[in-house]
């Protein structure tokens, strides 16, 4: 791995929990539980190899269409994650943010997520952003409406960037250098639409619960082999 070409910000679409569970003939919620364990591994790996920002797509605005049993199971796993990992996150100096409208989460999950954010806010290591009840289009609409409400008549790209969850609210997190999606799907599914305008995309057939540090590093190596030109020439 080339340290001087390390992506500063990696975004991940954690896909394949349900298919992983189906392959093993077990309930989907057990796939999400295995996915949570994989997420823990990748958070630790990101911190170890020097990534500054990690953003994961945990629950989209479209995921509410799933069964109430599956949705409830996902939020119960969020509570479990906070209860089991808060000390380790603090021990590893990880700061947790949330992007998306988490006010719509069940109260117990909402309170646990807020506890996680509050308890890690002074850490200055890896910044771990959890996108929950998040949608890229909704984020842009929200940002533009806020600008209009604040009297903006001529809106610039900089204005929109600052109005997003990743903008002024969180200290202007840089756009992702690398977007990873697991499970063989090759689309971004309404994730960080504005922010990923010039991100490098890397896809893997590995289902998310099977993701480990070795595969994560392999995907970063693919990123490091590319020449980012941003529309220009080498």
What's the rounded Cα separation, in Å, for the pair 183 and 104? 28
d(CA 145, CA 69): 34
* Residue 160 near residue 87, CB atoms below 8 Å: no
State both tokens at 109: 């999950």
- Contact yes or no for 17/31 (Cβ under 8 A): yes
Element spanning 179, H or E? strand 178-181
Contacts (Cβ under 8 Å, ≥6 apart) of 194: 136, 139, 140, 160, 161, 164
Q: What is the reported pLDDT for 227?
A: 86
Tell me how far apart the alpha carbons of residues 65 and 199 are, in angstroms, rounded to a whole number. Answer: 29
The whole-number pLDDT of residue 116 equals 95
Scanning the chain, the segments in alpha helix (DSSP H) are 17-23, 28-49, 68-91, 107-120, 136-149, 157-163, 213-224
- Encode 38-47: b = buried (16+ Cβ within 10 Å), e = exposed: bbeebbbbbb
CA distance 181 to 201: 8
- Which residues in the chain come in under a pLDDT of 50? none
Which tokens sit at 7?
A: 């992506």
Superfamily for domain range 3-135+177-224: Decaprenyl diphosphate synthase-like (3.40.1180.10)
Domain boundaries, the chain: 3-135+177-224
> What is the DSSP code (8-state) at residue 96?
E
Q: Catalytic amino acids? A: 15, 63
């Amino acid at each position: 791995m080339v340290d001087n070409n390390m992506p500063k910000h990696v975004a991940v679409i954690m896909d394949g929990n349900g298919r992983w569970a189906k392959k093993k003939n077990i309930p989907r919620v057990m796939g999400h539980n295995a996915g949570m364990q994989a997420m823990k591994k990748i958070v630790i790996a990101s911190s170890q190899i020097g990534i500054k920002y990690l953003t994961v797509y945990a629950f989209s605005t479209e995921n509410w269409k799933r069964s109430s049993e599956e949705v409830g199971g996902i939020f119960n796993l969020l509570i479990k994650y906070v209860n089991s990992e808060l000390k380790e996150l603090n021990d590893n100096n990880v700061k947790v943010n949330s992007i998306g409208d988490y006010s719509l989460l069940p109260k117990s999950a909402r309170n646990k997520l807020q506890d996680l954010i509050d308890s890690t806010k002074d850490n200055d290591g890896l910044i771990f952003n959890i996108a929950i009840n998040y949608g890229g289009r909704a984020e842009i609409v929200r940002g533009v409406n806020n600008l209009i409400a604040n009297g903006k008549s001529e809106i610039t790209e900089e204005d929109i960037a600052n109005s997003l969850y990743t903008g002024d609210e969180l200290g202007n997190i840089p756009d992702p250098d690398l977007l990873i999606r697991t499970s063989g799907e090759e689309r971004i599914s309404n994730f960080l639409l504005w922010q990923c305008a010039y991100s490098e995309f890397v896809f893997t057939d590995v289902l998310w619960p099977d993701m480990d540090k070795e595969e994560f590093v392999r995907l970063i190596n693919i990123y490091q082999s590319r020449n980012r030109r941003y529309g220009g020439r080498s």
